[in-house]
Amino acid sequence: MRIGVIGAGGIGGTIGTLWAKAGHEVFFSSRNPEKLSELVTGENTQAGTVAEAAKFADVILLSCYYSTIDDAISAAGSLDRKILIDATNPYLREDDKIHRVPDASSGLELAAKLPNAKVVKAYNTLPTATFANEAHRSEPYALFYCGDDAEAKAIVAQLITDSGFAGVDTGNLTQVIHQEPGGVLYNHPMSATSAQRLLPSLR
């Protein structure tokens, strides 16, 4: 796949690198692309502006801070018909402290802002260190995803497998409440078998 990473920091850089190692073409982006040279490691990786990454890609990983989502999607240009994987979580930094935004869902808000994009919530439930150190375990960790477009979800499920995790479909985008901060699936590493046991209680 041709994948654009918007927000190539800890999480975006790590996931993009896993996809590049699996053979996908990954375009990392930044407001200062010259900072991304460490991520450009082979023929299938490149770096540029947010707009260039969005134009290049069929699938976009959005992995910037919640407070910068509007800026990032505005810099991207049209995201119509693109598959948009939302890895963001609704936290804000104030007075050097990070706090959860009550009653916010970055996934639902993003889908409302971009009705013509195919938003799939994924890659937000585990910390960067787990993605960096625990990919391709013999019993892979579950990685939850949800969305309203079946074809987009099938593509994201394959990308999850390729990055060394076990995709677990939690349903349509309204199920995002279980995956985002405060939800039972957020920040609880578990096997796909344990995850499948848990899911019926959420529906």
Ligand X SMILES: NC(=O)c1ccc[n+]([C@@H]2O[C@H](COP(=O)([O-])OP(=O)(O)OC[C@H]3O[C@@H](n4cnc5c(N)ncnc54)[C@H](OP(=O)(O)O)[C@@H]3O)[C@@H](O)[C@H]2O)c1
Identify the residue among 4, 7, 16, 183 touching ligand X (CB under 6 A).
Answer: 7
Identify the residue among 44, 49, 128, 191 touching ligand X (CB under 6 A).
Answer: 128
- Close Cβ partners of 35 (under 8 Å, ≥ 6 residues apart): none
- The sign of the dihedral angle between the CA atoms of 70, 38, 186, 156 is positive
| Nearer to ligand X among residue 62 and residue 157 (C-beta) | 62
Dist. CA 20–CA 17, nearest whole Å:
5
Are residues 32 and 80 in contact, defined by beta-carbon separation less than 8 angstroms? Answer: no
Dist. CA 23–CA 17, nearest whole Å:
10
Number of residues forming the site for ligand X (CB under 6 A): 27
Residue whose pair of structure tokens reads 């999480």 in the numeric block? 11
Identify the residue among 53, 72, 143, 159 touching ligand X (CB under 6 A).
Answer: 72
Dist. CA 15–CA 193, nearest whole Å:
23
| Nearer to ligand X among residue 171 and residue 181 (C-beta) | 181
Identify the residue among 3, 4, 11, 46 touching ligand X (CB under 6 A).
Answer: 11
Alpha helices in 33-167 (DSSP H): 50-56, 69-76, 106-113, 128-134, 150-162
Q: Is 99 in the site for ligand X (CB under 6 A)?
A: no
Stretch that binds ligand X, among 67-75, 148-156, 172-180, 193-201 (CB under 6 A): 67-75
| Nearer to ligand X among residue 63 and residue 163 (C-beta) | 63
Dist. CA 198–CA 100, nearest whole Å:
24
Q: Is 93 in the site for ligand X (CB under 6 A)?
A: no
- Close Cβ partners of 179 (under 8 Å, ≥ 6 residues apart): 107, 121, 124, 125, 144, 146, 170, 185, 186
Identify the residue among 22, 57, 85, 87 touching ligand X (CB under 6 A).
Answer: 87
Identify the residue among 38, 58, 71, 139 touching ligand X (CB under 6 A).
Answer: 71
CB of 200 to ligand X, least distance (A): 25
Identify the residue among 63, 163, 170, 175 touching ligand X (CB under 6 A).
Answer: 63
The first and second tokens of residue 72, run together, are 């990032």
Binding site for ligand X (CB under 6 A): 6-12, 30-32, 35, 50, 63-66, 68, 71-72, 75, 87-89, 91, 124, 127-128
